[in-house]
């Protein structure tokens, strides 16, 4: 948040920095509503929360698995649920779902990444596209960005 302080001062009403625990469904709904109230409308929603766990599957505890699914899958669902009514009200909008290449090809020691990213990708598309037959004239789209193997994106990774 400190990194955004200068930008927030410079752009005043054009930037709203809110700290959010994306695994807290109620907080997600409050934050999306606050953003809508602040800006008056929502055009684009970026679902970018997530992290990758490295290691072999037998090393993963139940708590670690559940925490990762809460962050990487359910958080995107909560954001979608919270934002979709505002996009529907506006008549259009776009969801950008950020995941990783793991949705198509997980590497050894990252197999969980593939299942999590595939679920995230499919659920984002499905939840939004399911709405379209029932809300004629609404143009809500889903885009995907699947980052590749870029060690600079990983903690401690350098190239």
Question: Can you give the residue ranges of every domain in the chain?
Answer: 44-153
Report the pLDDT value the prediction gives residue 14, as an integer from 0 to 100. Answer: 84
Architecture label for domain 44-153: 3-Layer(aba) Sandwich (3.40)
Strands of the sheet containing 139-147, edge to edge, are 44-47, 92-100, 139-147
Q: Which portions of the chain are predicted below pLDDT 50?
A: 109-110, 149-159
Report the pLDDT value the prediction gives residue 4, as an integer from 0 to 100. Answer: 80
Per-residue model confidence as pLDDT tens digits over 108-123: 544 555 555 556 555 6
The answer to whether 111 and 117 are in contact (CB under 8 A) is no
Report the pLDDT value the prediction gives residue 94, as an integer from 0 to 100. Answer: 85
Report the pLDDT value the prediction gives residue 128, as an integer from 0 to 100. Answer: 59
- Which pTM value belongs to this model? 0.70
Distance, C-alpha 6 to centroid of its chain = 25
- Closest to 128 measured CA to CA, from 90, 86, 95: 95
Cα 140 to Cα 77: distance, rounded to the nearest angstrom: 16
Q: What are 41's two structure tokens?
A: 């409308």
């Amino acid at each position: 948040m400190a990194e955004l302080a200068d930008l927030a001062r410079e752009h005043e009403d054009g930037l709203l920095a809110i700290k959010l625990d994306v695994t807290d469904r109620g907080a997600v709904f409050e934050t999306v509503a606050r953003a809508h109230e602040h800006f008056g409308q929502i055009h684009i929603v970026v679902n970018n929360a997530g992290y990758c766990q490295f290691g072999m599957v037998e090393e993963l505890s139940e708590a670690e698995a559940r925490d990762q699914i809460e962050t990487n899958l359910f958080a995107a669902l909560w954001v979608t649920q919270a934002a979709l009514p505002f996009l529907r009200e506006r008549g259009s909008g776009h969801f950008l779902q950020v995941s990783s290449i793991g949705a198509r090809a997980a590497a050894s020691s990252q197999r969980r990444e593939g299942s999590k990213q595939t679920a995230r990708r499919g659920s984002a598309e499905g939840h939004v596209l399911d709405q379209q037959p029932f809300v004629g004239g609404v143009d809500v789209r889903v885009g995907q960005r699947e980052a590749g193997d870029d060690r600079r994106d990983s903690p401690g990774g350098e190239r």
